[in-house]
C-alpha cells in the first residue's frame, strides 16, 4: 500500500518530506482502523485518520494529495478483501455487497475525519506562522533581534539577506486604517519584496530594493496612493532598520501640514533634522526670525513667502520675482527688510544657513502664509 501511494502521488515520493517508514505505519494504522470497524461494528474510531490528517498538514503535504493517498490505500485494501473472498466459498455475493456498502461508508467517514484534522492543524500552523512573522517584523523595526538570527528572519519573511532596503512610513487617518492599502500587491508586481507592520497611527513598510531602478519603481507605487508618506535613505544591513525607520518618520514629519505625497529624507536632510527637534527648532525661530514673526500678518506673510521663493530659486531675486509675479526690485526690497529686522545679512553664508533652517522650522506653524 505504501509503495503504491509513493508510486502514484508525487508529493509522497519525497523521502525527506515523508519517510517511507512513517508512510507505512500510517497505512497499517488506517487499514487496521477500517478492518476493525468492519469486524466489530459500533461507533467508529477515527483517531488514526485524524492523526494522518494532522501529520500531513505539519509535513506540508497538500490536502488533495493526502486524500488521494487515502483513496489509493482504501482501493487497494478493498481489492485484497475481494481477492480473499474469491477463495472463501462461504462469502456470498450478498455478503460482499453488504460489506462493500459498510466499507465505503467507513472510508468516507475516515476521509472526512482526515480532512477535518488536516484543516484544523493547517489553521493552527497558519496562526502560529502569522504570529511568528508579526513578531519577526516587530523585532526588525525595533531592533530587538540578534544579529545571528537576521539571516533566518530574512528567509522567513521573504527578504534578501543583503540590501539595499528602505523604510516607508505612512500616516493613518484612523486607528487600524491602512493608508497604503494595495501597495503590497503593487510592489509584488514590480518584483519588490516587502514586509508590513500596522500601528494605530502609522503603517510601516520595509522594502527590498535589489536593482538600480527599484527605488524609482517603489516611489512610483507609493506616490500613486493619496497618503502622507515618509521615505528613508537606502541602507544595506537589516540591523539598521530601526535607524531607517527614524529617518522615515522624520521625513514624514517634514511634510507640510494637510498635504499628501512622499517625502524622501534625502531630498531635504536639513528639514528632517529641524523636524526631529521641535523644541530646539522653536528656539531657533525665536533667535533668528522672531522680529519677522511679530509683524502684522500681511507683512509677515509677504516676507516669509518671499524668503521661501528666494531659497527655492537658489538665491536668485529674478527667478523668485518670476514665481511671485512681482518685480525683482520688490524681492530685493523685501529681502533688505528681512535683513533690517533680523540684523542678519543674507550675503553671509552662515546667516543664510540660519535663516533657511529657521524658515523650515516656522513653515508648518505659519504654513497658511502661502
176: preceding bond cis by omega (within 30 degrees): no
Q: How many domains does the chain have?
A: 3
- Last residue of some domain: 77, 112, 131? 131
Residues in Cβ contact with 237 at an 8 Å cutoff, skipping those fewer than 6 apart: 162, 163
How far from 327 is each of 310, 311, 336, 346, CA to CA, in Å?
13, 17, 15, 19
Are 245 and 328 members of one domain? no
263 domain-assigned:
yes
Are 286 and 239 members of one domain? no
- Last residue of some domain: 268, 296, 325? 268
Are 195 and 307 members of one domain? no
CB-based burial label for 246 (10 Å; 0-12, 13-18, 19+): middle
Are 57 and 174 members of one domain? no
Say how far residue 214 (Cα) sits from the centre of its chain: 17
Are 341 and 257 members of one domain? no
Are 285 and 263 members of one domain? no
Dihedral angle, C-alpha 62, 64, 68, 70, nearest 10 °: 70
316 domain-assigned:
yes
Q: Which domain holds residue 68?
A: 2-131
151 domain-assigned:
no
Are 172 and 238 members of one domain? yes
The CB density around residue 175, as the number of other CB atoms within 10 Å, is 9
Q: What is the structure's pLDDT at 58? A: 85
Say how far residue 55 (Cα) sits from the centre of its chain: 30
Contact in structure between 73 and 31 (CB atoms under 8 Å): yes
Q: What is the structure's pLDDT at 370? A: 41
Residues in Cβ contact with 248 at an 8 Å cutoff, skipping those fewer than 6 apart: 166, 167, 168, 169, 230, 231, 232, 265
Are 264 and 289 members of one domain? no
**What is the DSSP-derived secondary structure letter of residue 64?**
H
Residues in Cβ contact with 9 at an 8 Å cutoff, skipping those fewer than 6 apart: 65, 68, 69, 72
Does residue 123 sit in helix, strand or coil? helix
In SS3 terms, 43-62 reads as: CCCCHHHHHHHHHHHHHCCC
Are 33 and 120 members of one domain? yes
CATH of the domain at 314: 1.10.10.2840
Are 204 and 282 members of one domain? no
154 domain-assigned:
no
Residue 335 C-alpha cell reads as 529681502
Q: What is the structure's pLDDT at 44? A: 73
Are 12 and 118 members of one domain? yes
Q: What is the structure's pLDDT at 369? A: 41
197 domain-assigned:
yes
113 domain-assigned:
yes
Give the gyration radius of the chain's Cα atoms. Answer: 35
Residue 4 C-alpha cell reads as 503504491
140 domain-assigned:
no
Are 259 and 320 members of one domain? no
Give CA angle at 139 (137, 142), nearest 5°: 110
142 domain-assigned:
no
pLDDT in tens, the chain (370 residues): 999 999 999 889 888 888 899 899 989 988 888 888 888 877 778 888 888 888 888 888 888 999 999 899 999 999 999 999 889 888 888 888 888 888 888 888 888 999 999 888 888 876 776 777 788 888 888 887 766 677 788 888 889 988 899 999 999 888 878 899 899 999 999 999 999 998 889 999 999 999 989 999 999 999 999 999 999 999 998 889 998 998 898 888 777 777 889 988 877 767 666 766 677 778 788 888 899 989 998 999 999 999 989 988 888 999 999 999 999 999 999 999 999 999 988 888 888 888 888 887 776 555 434 4
Amino acid at each position: 500500500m505504501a509503495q503504491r501511494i509513493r508510486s502514484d502521488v508525487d508529493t509522497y515520493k519525497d523521502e525527506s518530506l515523508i519517510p517511507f517508514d512513517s508512510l507505512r505505519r500510517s497505512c497499517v494504522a488506517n487499514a487496521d482502523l477500517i478492518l476493525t470497524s468492519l469486524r466489530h461494528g459500533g461507533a467508529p474510531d477515527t483517531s488514526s485518520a485524524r492523526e494522518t490528517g494532522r501529520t500531513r498538514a505539519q509535513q506540508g503535504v497538500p490536502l488533495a494529495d493526502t486524500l488521494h493517498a487515502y483513496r489509493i490505500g482504501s482501493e487497494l485494501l478493498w481489492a485484497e478483501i475481494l481477492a480473499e473472498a474469491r477463495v472463501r466459498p462461504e462469502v456470498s455475493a450478498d455478503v460482499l455487497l453488504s460489506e462493500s456498502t459498510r466499507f465505503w461508508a467507513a472510508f468516507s467517514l475516515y476521509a472526512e475525519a482526515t480532512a477535518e484534522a488536516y484543516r484544523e492543524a493547517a489553521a493552527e500552523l497558519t496562526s502560529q506562522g502569522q504570529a511568528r512573522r508579526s513578531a519577526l517584523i516587530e523585532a526588525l523595526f525595533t531592533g530587538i533581534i540578534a544579529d545571528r538570527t537576521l539571516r533566518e528572519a530574512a528567509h522567513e519573511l521573504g527578504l534578501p539577506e543583503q540590501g539595499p532596503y528602505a523604510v516607508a512610513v505612512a500616516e493613518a487617518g484612523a486607528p487600524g486604517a491602512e493608508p497604503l492599502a494595495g501597495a503590497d500587491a503593487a510592489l509584488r508586481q514590480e518584483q519588490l519584496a516587502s514586509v508590513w507592520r500596522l500601528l494605530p497611527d502609522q503603517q510601516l513598510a520595509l522594502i527590498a530594493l535589489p536593482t538600480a531602478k527599484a527605488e524609482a519603481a517603489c516611489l512610483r507605487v507609493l506616490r500613486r496612493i493619496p497618503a502622507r508618506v515618509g521615505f528613508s535613505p537606502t541602507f544595506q544591513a537589516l540591523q539598521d532598520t530601526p535607524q531607517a525607520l527614524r529617518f522615515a518618520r522624520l521625513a514624514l514629519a517634514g511634510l507640510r501640514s494637510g498635504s499628501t505625497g512622499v517625502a524622501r529624507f534625502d531630498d531635504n536632510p536639513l528639514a528632517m533634522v529641524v523636524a526631529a527637534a521641535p523644541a530646539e527648532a522653536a528656539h531657533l525661530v525665536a533667535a533668528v526670525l522672531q522680529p519677522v514673526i511679530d509683524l502684522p500678518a500681511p507683512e509677515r506673510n509677504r516676507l516669509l513667502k518671499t524668503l521661501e521663493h528666494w531659497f527655492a530659486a537658489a538665491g536668485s531675486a529674478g527667478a523668485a520675482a518670476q514665481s511671485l509675479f512681482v518685480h525683482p526690485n520688490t524681492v530685493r526690497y523685501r529681502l533688505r527688510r528681512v535683513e533690517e529686522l533680523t540684523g542678519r545679512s543674507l550675503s553671509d553664508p552662515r546667516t543664510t544657513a540660519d535663516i533657511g533652517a529657521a524658515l523650515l522650522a516656522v513653515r508648518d506653524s505659519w504654513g497658511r502664509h502661502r
